[in-house]
Structure 1
Amino acid sequence: MRAATDILEISPIIPVVVLDDAAHAVPLTQALQRGGIHTIEVTLRTPAALEAIERITGEVEGVTVGAGTITQPGQAKEAARAGAEYLVTPGSTDRLLDEVAETGLPALPGVSTVSEALRLAERGMRALKFFPAEPAGGVPYLKALSSPLPDLTFCPTGGITPDNAGRYLALPNVRCVGGSWLAPKEALGKGDWGHVEALARQAVSLG
């Protein structure tokens, strides 16, 4: 099993996807893979999410599948049963962290303050999600954290675009960023997997 810090090293961009139709899961993931991205975060925001994770893990080799937007009791275990290989939370309550830990899967817990980051560090967590990145202070905020918290690494998500991703990736405490632009709804609806592949290739070049 990968460590949480290893998850941050798979690709410079983690696609953060919302799937309304589980049938899109496999061709979307394959298009991202052709474009050079080997991980995907399927958010648990739709009824199709768990089936999508099952399909990807069952049909696509060489891609590490995460489950995101873990917020409710039971979701972490449901995602683990579906085949998720890592878990991502937008925030970090004690109950949620305990539930995630029970699965044994690596996790990227969400933080947006120094106190939250320190509390997770006390639990031995070193790889964190910074969310919502842009509203919470963006590049200047994360840059300021690198000196007092040198042992922590971050995956910023929330407001990340092709225009600002490079500035995040240039920070010493950022290993990758999460981006939703890699799976636009219009492309999913049309089955335009060539467009998704092109977006993936552009994203990889940012790192």
Structure 2
Amino acid sequence: MDLLNALRTHRIVAIVRGDDADAALRTVLTLAEEHIPLIEVSLSGKDALDVIRRARAALGPAAPLGAGTVLTAQDAQAVRDAGADFVVTPAVCEGVAEAKRLGLPVLAGVMTPTDIVAAQRLGADAFKIFPAAQAGGAGYLKALHGPFPDAPFVPVGGVDADAAGAYFAQGATAVGVGSPLIGDAADGGSLDALRERARAFHAVVRATAAVDARR
């Protein structure tokens, strides 16, 4: 898949992790129904590989489906075999290099300029600023664009709808959203509430697109 184009198009990466594999699968399918197609199933969730397999079967071969918290070469191989077609890492790690070797695009976790250069050398397709809120939020993203003006950054960590708008205003390609979007859905919570939160994030994306169109 063309991960960079997908990030630029959809702007939201939903991060699903939970203690209930069936609920996590329902969460993935609900997000897809709500037109949030970029979904990352974190390996830190219960039975994550099985969730990825079942989600792939339900969504079909053409739908984008990512795996997160990919740290090792073994992780990259396992998620590829389970049906993931893009990889998200929390750091610049062995998982980045192995995923690229396997032909999977990578959203690589970075924090510092040194991390960004290291991820570039490994062929990362985009850069996950993590944890973004603790790093300084939208101000830190603005600072990073000084030495890396064309880098595709995806802030992750503490990104609610308001923060998403602030990151977009500072040039974020997309944002990764966990609990502010997922809530308790992946643990068996309300899917109706999940749908409402998804629509709130869509409203931010639409507002950003309207501002960009006027520039």
TM-score (norm 2): 0.86
* Partner Cα distance (1:106, 1:189) in 2: 28
> Secondary structure at 1:20's aligned position in 2?
coil
Shift of the 188–106 alpha-carbon distance from structure 1 to 2, 3 Å rule, reads closer
Asked if the contact 2:37–2:63 (Cα under 8 Å) also holds between the matched residues in 1, the reply is: yes
Asked if the contact 1:91–1:110 (Cα under 8 Å) also holds between the matched residues in 2, the reply is: yes
Q: 1:138-177 residue pairs with structure 2 within 5 A?
A: 138-172=137-171, 174-177=172-175
Q: Does 1:20 align with 2:25?
A: no
Kindly state the Cα deviation for residue 68 of structure 1 after the two structures are TM-superposed. Answer: 0.4
* Partner Cα distance (1:31, 1:37) in 2: 9
> Secondary structure at 2:10's aligned position in 1?
coil
1:122 corresponds in structure 2 to 121
1:200 corresponds in structure 2 to 198
* Partner Cα distance (1:48, 1:32) in 2: 19
* Partner Cα distance (1:120, 1:72) in 2: 15
Kindly state the Cα deviation for residue 108 of structure 1 after the two structures are TM-superposed. Answer: 0.5
Shift of the 44–8 alpha-carbon distance from structure 1 to 2, 3 Å rule, reads same
Q: Which deviates the most, 27-36 or 146-155? A: 27-36
Structure in which a larger fraction of residues adopt helix: 2
Kindly state the Cα deviation for residue 150 of structure 1 after the two structures are TM-superposed. Answer: 1.6
> Secondary structure at 2:132's aligned position in 1?
coil
* Partner Cα distance (2:26, 2:132) in 1: 29
* Partner Cα distance (1:63, 1:183) in 2: 19
Q: Name the aligned partner's letter for residue 166 of structure 1.
A: G
Q: Does 1:41 align with 2:54?
A: no
> Secondary structure at 2:182's aligned position in 1?
coil
Asked if the contact 1:76–1:87 (Cα under 8 Å) also holds between the matched residues in 2, the reply is: yes
* Partner Cα distance (2:188, 2:144) in 1: 42
Kindly state the Cα deviation for residue 190 of structure 1 after the two structures are TM-superposed. Answer: 4.4
Shift of the 102–124 alpha-carbon distance from structure 1 to 2, 3 Å rule, reads closer
* Partner Cα distance (1:73, 1:121) in 2: 18
Q: Which runs of 5+ in 2 are unaligned?
A: 206-215
Kindly state the Cα deviation for residue 191 of structure 1 after the two structures are TM-superposed. Answer: 5.0
Asked if the contact 1:129–1:156 (Cα under 8 Å) also holds between the matched residues in 2, the reply is: yes
Q: Name the aligned partner's letter for residue 76 of structure 1.
A: A
Percent identity, aligned pairs only, is 34
- Please list every run of at least 4 consecutive aligned residues from structure 1 whose deviation after the TM superposition is greater than 3 angstroms: 122-126, 187-191
Q: Which runs of 5+ in 1 are unaligned?
A: none
TM-score (norm 1): 0.89
- Larger relative contact order (Cα-Cα within 8 Å, sequence gap ≥ 6): 1
Asked if the contact 2:132–2:156 (Cα under 8 Å) also holds between the matched residues in 1, the reply is: yes
